[in-house]
Structure 1
Amino acid sequence: MATALKLPVGIEDFKEIRRQGFYYIDKTKLIEQLLDNWGKVNLFTRPRRFGKTLNMSMLRCFFEIGADKTLFEGLYISQNEQFCEEYMGRFPVVFLTLKGVEGTTFEEARLSLAELIAAEARRFKFLQESDSLDADDKEMYRELISLNKEQSPVTSVKLRFSLKNLLELLYKHYGRKTIVLIDEYDVPLDKAFQDGYYREMVSLIRGLLGETLKTNDFLQFAVLTGCLRVSKENIFTGLNNFKILSITDVRFDEQFGFTEDEVKKLLNAYHLESHLPEMKEWYDGYHFGDANIYCPWDVINHVELLCKDSKAEPKCYWINSSGNSLVKRFITKANKTTRDEIERLIAGEPIEKSVRLELTYDEIDNSIDNIWSVLFTTGYLTQVGMTEQGAYKLVIPNKEVREVYKLQIQDWFDKKLRDNTEQLTAFWNSIEEGKTEAIEQYLNRTLSNSISVFDTKAPEKEKESSYHTLLVGLLTGNTDWVVRSNVEAGEGFADIIVEPEDPDAGIIFELKYSKEANGLQISCEKAIEQIKSRRYSEYLKNDGRHNMTFYGIAFYKKRCKAVVETIKET
């Protein structure tokens, strides 16, 4: 029964999923589509955690000589018996996953790549004894399996020709051309960009892919996957029969990620049908070609959690599976215009942007507009249509990704505030001295220059909570103060109570959100009245503090108003 199947959390090996009885959402139509829509070299670009590696593993299991036909029993592709007879288990396959190719220096990364290729070459040890290979061929093979031991300056040259040489040897042994699968081809470039040896890595990858994929008589076809579509002129120079299948392409649009029908079927299998709305709100929203797609990593993880606890709340799985350096880079470069655009995105509104689907890593920081393109291709934004001028209408895809914008923005904002200690100190002094005009100026300037996380579509109480969080963050930076939030006091809960260094003094803040700008003054007065009517000052009096300062602060979008009242209680 389907309910007995385990969930393949973090498992990207097709053979393991099928043999060990894990739940599998059938993507074998990809095999048929690849040959029906023939391309000598095919590049699929999709965000991370959308099933690229599992699909590549599935392709290898289908095409590779010695294929286990039972792995595909009951799946879509098995219905096409003639196709399976013609192609299943008919080709040598070279499969490389470049996600682990990295290093703090170019030399470390190069040796990492050499080890990867050597390890793949060692899978074909029978070549050492093959009667179809002569002495020179066998010496070539011994060099391939020893690539990682090579320390001379010619290592990059040998790496450049290594895969082409391996394909030639496999052709001589089998009499058949080889299928090449290269997963996460762009990860070494990303790591090199971050660690400062990008140009060297570009040269190495360009040479390796060029020799392997261009005018290679021993290549049947190749499939590559990655997150970012690196410029053809940068990496794939001279490849004429090169098919790029990006997130905007309608071909193969349902083969990476889960469709809604697939999610419904999965939830039904585990009797979790009622959880579809929360799945849709949190993990749907991606648009690949003409298809609406859920993030498979999120869905599988959340279904597993729900199987253990049917009341479990949705979590951020995809976002927490790796760093968010792209968003951080974007936020730190944001100017006032882009900050406004981010606010609109967080509020659920689309923005219109011309998107470059083809970039080099060293171009990303040249223009803020390039960052929009990267956020789109890597899944932090998705498109909901196009303008007549050809610009994309971009939105944040779902609640999970929206959370990372809010959290990352808040982290960035907090850092910016810490860096501006002189102005912050003056703000604290103004609070102790009751200078409302200076307080308003600082808060208004802060709100104006920050990227707001205040959702204009949120309920009024939630908006007030956002400003509350902002003010608490500003106040807690003063190490001479004790700052308490949502304190039980008198006949209710005070928003913020501050106990300054002066043992006789105490400060109480009550915050309000005004629905319109001309209501700020009235909201402030209501806040002061609330402090007094609910006797929040009892909390401070119990601590021996009798010199009270009451603040009523009201907010409307990026504007605020402050009213102060000082009272000496006995």
Structure 2
Amino acid sequence: MASYLNPGFEKYQESLNAKIYIDKSDLIAILNENISTTQKYICISRPRRFGKSVTANMLCAYYSKDTDSSFLFDNLKIAKSDSYKKHLNQYNTIFINMQRFLSRAKNDIDQMLIDLNNFIKEEICEQYPSIDVSKFTELYDVLDCVYQQSNNENEQTKKGFVFIIDEWDCILREKQTDATGIKKYLDYLRVLLKDQSYVALAYMTGILPIKKYGSHSALNMFDEYSMTDPGEYASYIGFTKDEVINLCDTYQIDVNTMKKWYDGYSFDESLHLYNPNSVVKAIQRKKFSSYWTQTETFESLRRYIDLNMEGLRDEIVKLIAGNEVVVNTAKFHNDMTTFETKNDVLTLLIHLGYLAIVPDSELKGIDNDKIFAVHIPNEEIRKEFRNITEDNQNYPGIYSLISQSMDLLEKIYEKDNTAVAQAFDIAHQDHSSILKYNDENSLSCVISLALNLASVDLYNVYRELPAGKGFADMVYIPKQGVEKPALLVELKYNQSAITAIDQIKQKNYSRIFHDYKGEVLLVGINYDKDTKTHQCQIEKMNSQSQRT
């Protein structure tokens, strides 16, 4: 079996042989609709270890000529499609793993492109010995010659080449500062694929969307699908909720814990996706842990959150505190070097999988087109942020808050107003260098930072939750199985804690707990800018009359 031309089904068969396999073969039906149309160029980007290579191997197994892979697909979802037999094993399929070519060329882009030409040309010559391509030096000339001559007998049934390009963006990631080499590589792809009649389908996959120059894509013939706009391919980016529930049932794994650790990637209000690699690892090892550090992007996170971008540090702190932030992705250049604002850095973190979109967010200013609300999606990624910012001189003392806040919730449960106020005083004093502390918004950030680090395993946290006649600042609802009081927190700046409690009552915020049977604590917090101290008032609410 060849390596590049019609590589066959062996690699995909290994995936099918694995103990855990999720059938995503119905993706092929979508791609079949685009063969030999103006929509035949498709680029799908998603984070590392989200199944990109498995998908590439599946497509090679399905489309490759001179083999019969029907025994692999006959019992999969694609077999139910009307297009299944029509395209099965019908195309000369060229598979290119750019990472391997770059590594073989010892990171020399010029040598990599030479190797691409030579190795693929060599396999084409072996496959078509009767077609003389010796006079051609460029791969696109070789492919056009083979396409024209091998299809001469029946012009109406001509079949072009299917291109499967994996790790297409590795040059942009590993040769970040080689602008000349990157441009040469993108020009090579454009000439190889654009407006070429021999292309039946071009499927590219990587981590980054296609590089932009100004506002234009370097490969503008491609339809792009990414972590900010996956379109109809969203359910193929990771494991869906239903797929994970079935796995948890099969292997007797707690689905709620699985959700806490690996869920959080969502693109509409109903579709939730899990990190597939981590789900599989957790099942195999019977342990919930972070398997993210085994990927190369771990060091990327450290590097990018340390960049000296105005406002970036404040946004990272808010994210660590469990809050959402607004990101404008419009001007991101789809590379790892061109950062003009904090938005560019945060957009990159979305594509790397460290941040996830919150499509149903209530934050102001989002349009879910180019401007999104984002958050840290799950416990696995939260641990990575903790590991990287702990002892980081650009984030001084964030995680000293953990030890300070371990007993904070207990003091709230005890309704110890003085102790709670003092704890927030300490949080303010220790972290005034991190956040400007001069309005109610920055007050809420420090308060939520202190509370959320202590409560992340106990509560679901809601900010600005519609309640009664207004919006409650912070609401903490115990997670399933947690027997702790719910918390309704109201913040005031330069007023009084009593005023905060009065507002909760006057605006009937407690109505949100109408069907809640457990204990509820009302927590009013005020910051006095003159004395630079907090005041706290905590009251128990358990009367049904207060919830109506």
- Same-fold call, TM cutoff 0.5: yes
TM-score bucket (shorter structure): 0.5 to 0.7
The answer to whether residue 433 in structure 2 is matched with residue 449 in structure 1 is yes
**Counterparts of 1:205 and 1:177, CA distance in 2:** 23
The answer to whether residue 243 in structure 2 is matched with residue 262 in structure 1 is yes
CA contact (8 A) 2:46 2:351 kept: yes
Amino acid in structure 2 at the alignment position of 1:249: P
The answer to whether residue 249 in structure 2 is matched with residue 249 in structure 1 is no
CA contact (8 A) 1:346 1:455 kept: no
Specify whether residues 219 and 103 from structure 1 end up closer, same or farther in structure 2 by C-alpha distance, changes over 3 A only: closer
Alignment-derived partner of residue 25 in structure 1: 22
Alignment-derived partner of residue 325 in structure 1: 299
C-alpha deviation, 1:28, in angstroms: 0.9
SS at match of 1:200: helix
CA contact (8 A) 2:323 2:375 kept: yes
Q: How does 1:126-275 map to 2 (within 5 A)?
A: 126-127=126-127, 130-131=129-130, 133-134=131-132, 137-140=133-136, 161-162=138-139, 164-172=140-148, 174-175=150-151, 176-193=159-176, 196-197=177-178, 199-233=179-213, 241-247=221-227, 248-270=229-251, 272-273=252-253, 275=254
C-alpha deviation, 1:242, in angstroms: 2.5
Amino acid in structure 1 at the alignment position of 2:294: N
Which whole-Å deviations, capped at 9, do the CAs of 1:387-409 have from their partners, x for residues lacking one?
A: 55523111001011111111111
Alignment-derived partner of residue 281 in structure 1: 260
Specify whether residues 30 and 170 from structure 1 end up closer, same or farther in structure 2 by C-alpha distance, changes over 3 A only: farther
**Counterparts of 1:224 and 1:461, CA distance in 2:** 38
More helix by share: 1
C-alpha deviation, 1:334, in angstroms: 4.8
**Counterparts of 1:41 and 1:223, CA distance in 2:** 6
**Counterparts of 2:18 and 2:358, CA distance in 1:** 37
Specify whether residues 416 and 99 from structure 1 end up closer, same or farther in structure 2 by C-alpha distance, changes over 3 A only: farther
**Counterparts of 1:408 and 1:71, CA distance in 2:** 43
Alignment-derived partner of residue 313 in structure 2: 339
The answer to whether residue 70 in structure 2 is matched with residue 69 in structure 1 is yes
Amino acid in structure 2 at the alignment position of 1:191: E
CA contact (8 A) 2:56 2:164 kept: yes
Specify whether residues 361 and 232 from structure 1 end up closer, same or farther in structure 2 by C-alpha distance, changes over 3 A only: closer
Specify whether residues 301 and 69 from structure 1 end up closer, same or farther in structure 2 by C-alpha distance, changes over 3 A only: same
Structure 2, unpaired ranges of 5+: 1-8, 152-158, 398-425, 436-445, 458-490, 494-526, 535-548
CA contact (8 A) 1:101 1:187 kept: no
Alignment-derived partner of residue 15 in structure 1: 13
Structure 1, unpaired ranges of 5+: 1-10, 144-160, 307-311, 418-441, 463-514, 518-555, 562-570
Question: What is the percentage of aligned positions where both structures have the same residue?
Answer: 23
Specify whether residues 235 and 126 from structure 1 end up closer, same or farther in structure 2 by C-alpha distance, changes over 3 A only: farther
C-alpha deviation, 1:166, in angstroms: 4.3
C-alpha deviation, 1:381, in angstroms: 0.6
**Counterparts of 2:56 and 2:394, CA distance in 1:** 42
SS at match of 1:223: strand
**Counterparts of 1:378 and 1:113, CA distance in 2:** 26
Amino acid in structure 1 at the alignment position of 2:454: P
With 380-389 and 245-254 compared, the bigger mean Cα shift is at 380-389
Tell me the TM-score normalized by structure 2. 0.64
**Counterparts of 1:62 and 1:235, CA distance in 2:** 36
C-alpha deviation, 1:362, in angstroms: 6.3
Alignment-derived partner of residue 356 in structure 2: 382
Alignment-derived partner of residue 99 in structure 1: 99
Which whole-Å deviations, capped at 9, do the CAs of 1:417-470 have from their partners, x for residues lacking one?
A: 9xxxxxxxxxxxxxxxxxxxxxxxx998763335999652243899xxxxxxxx
SS at match of 1:179: strand
CA contact (8 A) 2:427 2:450 kept: no
When Rg is computed on C-alpha atoms for both structures, the one with the higher figure is 1
Alignment-derived partner of residue 49 in structure 2: 49
SS at match of 1:392: strand
Specify whether residues 235 and 92 from structure 1 end up closer, same or farther in structure 2 by C-alpha distance, changes over 3 A only: farther
**Counterparts of 1:89 and 1:337, CA distance in 2:** 53
**How many residue pairs were aligned?**
401
Amino acid in structure 1 at the alignment position of 2:264: G
C-alpha deviation, 1:411, in angstroms: 4.2
Which whole-Å deviations, capped at 9, do the CAs of 1:170-199 have from their partners, x for residues lacking one?
A: 424642310111112111111111xx32x1
Amino acid in structure 2 at the alignment position of 1:34: L
Tell me the TM-score normalized by structure 1. 0.62
C-alpha deviation, 1:67, in angstroms: 3.6
C-alpha deviation, 1:416, in angstroms: 7.7
Computed over aligned residues only, the root mean square deviation of the Cα atoms, in angstroms, reads 3.9
Which whole-Å deviations, capped at 9, do the CAs of 1:126-158 have from their partners, x for residues lacking one?
A: 24x622x13xx1454xx6xxxxxxxxxxxxxxx
With 172-181 and 199-208 compared, the bigger mean Cα shift is at 172-181
Q: How does 1:396-407 map to 2 (within 5 A)?
A: 396-407=376-387
SS at match of 2:236: coil
Amino acid in structure 2 at the alignment position of 1:305: R
Specify whether residues 303 and 174 from structure 1 end up closer, same or farther in structure 2 by C-alpha distance, changes over 3 A only: farther
